[in-house]
Amino acid sequence: MIKAYLLDVNQTDLYKLSSMLQHTGKVTVIGMSAYPQNVVDQIVLLQPDVLFLDLQLPGQQGVVVAELVKRRLPDIQIVVVTETKQHALWAFDQNIADYVLKPLEEVRLGQSLERLRKGG
């Protein structure tokens, strides 16, 4: 079972992603937040296998959160779930496990989980 933490300021998207992930039977959501402030310590404390992260946070907080989490949990997988392709090159350079565009689709999310299962 994959342990996941979700971060998205859009609470509708956050709960939709949580529901979709848990519906697969392959993921346990161990934490989620709509508030990027001080979330890194919570993520480190919970030690998820994967962070599902919307980069569309105020300012550059999505990128900053990803980099801080990776620094403290080098083995964590990060899946970007966002509305734009704006950060795709950054994600590729950061060895992000996957980049999923909204609106979320079950088939695409399943592909992402398969990629995680294989180790990125």
Cα–Cα dist 106/58, whole Å? 27
Mean pLDDT of the chain: 93
Of residues 108 and 36, more confidently modeled: 108
Residue 61: what residue type? Q
> Peptide bond before 58: cis, by omega within 30 degrees of 0?
no
In angstroms, the CA 27 to CA 99 distance is 18
pTM here? 0.94
Torsion angle (degrees, nearest 10) of CA 47, 49, 55, 56 = -80
Listed in sequence order, the residues at least 6 apart from 2 whose beta carbon sits closer than 8 Å to its beta carbon are: 26, 27, 28, 49, 50, 113, 116, 117
What is the CATH number assigned to the segment(s) 2-46+59-78+90-115? 3.40.50.2300
pLDDT tens for residues 62-112? Answer: 999 999 999 999 999 999 999 989 889 999 898 899 999 999 999 999 999
The two tokens of residue 42 are 């919570």
